[in-house]
Each structure stands twice: as structure tokens, then as C-alpha cells.
Structure 1
Amino acid sequence: MDNSIEKGKTAAITSYILGIGVFIAMSMNSEDKNKFASFHIRQGLGITLTFISLGLIISNFDSLMISAPMWVFILVLWSYGITSAIKGEIKPVPLLGTFYQKWLASIS
């Protein structure tokens, strides 16, 4: 396995702790920029922003029929992302992962 992947794995996995994990991972990756960690930081930040955005919109409805699919969607994205980080893979999360890489390109 590539040495840079091993070096960035801890930051990559940390980035998937919704909310605070992204900022911890960003500080871990601030000095020696690791491309693997940066990729997963963008994915983790994208999932967090998606979670917050959907949560703000869906919270207005107060319905389990509306909020349950959002939770399932976020759980699928999160589990896909953290699993690929643990395996040392650079695979974007389904549906939104490539957009996260484009929109958050300045985050490294």
C-alpha cells in the first residue's frame, strides 16, 4: 500500500466524525498536505454540509416519513466514505462525491 495513504489514513477516518471531525482532520493535515487525507476531508465536509442543509429544510416538516429517508441517505454516504477511508481507497461517495471534490477544491 502507498505510504502516503498510510500517513493520511488517521486524518481521513477522523474527517467522517460528523461536525467536529472535519476540523480536527483539517488541523491534522495542515502542515504536511496529504492528498489522500485531503480527498476524504472534502468528502467528510461535504457530507456534514449536506446533513446540516437537509436537516434545516426537513426539520420544518416534523414528519418521520420525510426525515427517515434523509437519515438513511446520510448514513449510506457516511458508511461508504468511512469504509473507503479505512480500506485506503480514493472513491467519491455516491451521487454527491464528485460534486464535493469540485465545490470544495480549495479545501486541502
Structure 2
Amino acid sequence: MIENDIDRGRQNAIISYLTIIGVIIAFYLNKEEDKRSDFANFHIRQSLGLWLTFWALGYIIGSFDSWLVSSSFYLCFAVLFIYGFTGALGRKKQIVPLVGAFYQKLFANLGN
């Protein structure tokens, strides 16, 4: 049953990390009754949290006039996105470091 769930939701999990629009597309694709997957829901919650945090903090970081602050911000989020994306590719439910557990609790009702 678990392998079947992962196979059903893998494509939506991967789509969710591509852009913020990808999160919305993956969410609606995963809502279909025959394609609903806990694996995809897990990764949709992770990527939604990453994208919202990226945009919220990016607005604040943009007010700093320092290439060091901006580049470290982008590097940090690139690592988090790559970590989540490789988890989706590798068929694993890996919580993104630092903030992943918070996103799972915050968006617990998403996709249910």
C-alpha cells in the first residue's frame, strides 16, 4: 500500500517544488479522488511552506543593501529546496531541516 501511494503521488510531489504555481497545480491534481496520496500531501506541505517563507523573508532581505546577506539567503533556500526535491525524487518523506516539522504542523489540514 505504501509503494502504491508513493507511485501515485510522486509526480505531484516533484511538481510542487518547481514553482509556487507548481504547488497550486500539485495541490489540485492531488485532490482528485483516484490520485490522492499522503506522500504528495507531505511534499506539498513542505514546498508550500518553503515558498511562502522564501517570499516573505525575501521581501525583508531585499531591503538590505548587502550582497553577502542576499547571497546567503538564496544559498540557504537553494539548499532547502534541493533537499526537499531530492527527497521527492528519491521516494522519501524527509522533513526539510530547520523548518520542515513546523510546516507539517502548520499545514496539517491541507489536502485532507
TM over 0.5: yes
- When structure 1 is superposed on structure 2, of 58-67 and 6-15 the one drifting more is 58-67
**Equivalent in the alignment of 1:22:** 23
Identity of paired residues, percent?
A: 45
SS at match of 1:2: helix
Alignment of 1:43-82 (within 5 A): 43-82=46-85
Unaligned runs of 5+ in 2: none
TM-score, structure 2 as length reference: 0.92
Runs of 4+ in 1 over 6 A off after TM superposition: none
- CA RMSD in angstroms comes to 1.1
Residues 49-94 of structure 1: per-residue CA shift (max 9 Å, x gap)? 1110110110111211111111011101100000000111011111
TM-score, structure 1 as length reference: 0.95
Alignment of 1:1-20 (within 5 A): 2-20=3-21
CA distance in 1, matches of 2:72, 2:107: 25
**Equivalent in the alignment of 1:37:** 40
